[in-house]
Amino acid sequence: MDRVDTIERTITVSSPIARVWEAITAAEHLSQWFGDSAEVDLQPGGALRFGWSEYDAFAEGVVEAVEHEKLFSYRWTAGKTDDGSIWTTNVTFTLDEQEGMTTITVVESGLSELPDELYAKTVKENTSGWEAELADLGHHLSTSAMSA
């Protein structure tokens, strides 16, 4: 069976790119739409952590690339196998602004490298998860007061 390697989702919002950038990179905004807690050291090699208290879950990772108001990429924990090995995937947000509308594309890649015991669950959960999270991001951008 062929394995999916990437999940890609896109949303377009009527928010300026500076506001979207703040929402996807600043911990105080991430914790409003992407789980309920976040820590981000916004530089390559910087640590990050996201938490979802309703699921008693968290994900940790490392920032891989930052291009101000264009690209934010990190590698985060996809899961742990029974032997204690930690497996990761890469998440990349790209932004593009046209006429006051910002298109946000998120791509999670490296899924095909996950071991069988993590693969199906991760693909299923993250496919629906990114749909829900981007919807939450759109809602956050349309309803919250932000500085950008």
Q: 78: closest CA among 109, 55, 54?
A: 109
Would the pLDDT of 148 be above 90?
no
Would the pLDDT of 145 be above 90?
no
Structure tokens at 134: 């981007």
| Domain-located, residue 1 | no
Structure tokens at 78: 């996809």
Q: 68: closest CA among 8, 17, 142, 141?
A: 17
pLDDT (0 to 100) of residue 55? 87
pLDDT (0 to 100) of residue 73? 99
pTM of the model: 0.93
CB 49 within 8 A of CB 39: yes
| Domain-located, residue 148 | no
Cross-strand bridge partners of residue 37: 51
Going by C-beta distance under 8 Å and a sequence separation of 6 or more, which residues neighbour residue 116?
Answer: none
Query: Rounded to an integer, what distance in angstroms lies between the CA atom of residue 27 and that of residue 79?
Result: 22
Percent of the chain with pLDDT over 90: 88
Q: How many CA atoms lie within 13 A of 119 on its CB side?
A: 13
Residues spanned by the domain of 21: 6-143
Single-letter amino acid, residue 13: V
pLDDT digits (tens, 9 = 90+) for 17-42: 999 999 999 999 999 999 899 999 99
Domain CATH for 16: 3.30.530.20
Would the pLDDT of 125 be above 90?
yes
| Domain-located, residue 31 | yes
Structure tokens at 114: 């996950």
| 87: helix, strand or coil | strand
| Domain-located, residue 139 | yes
CB 89 within 8 A of CB 75: yes
| Domain-located, residue 112 | yes
Domains held by the chain: number: 1
Would the pLDDT of 144 be above 80?
no
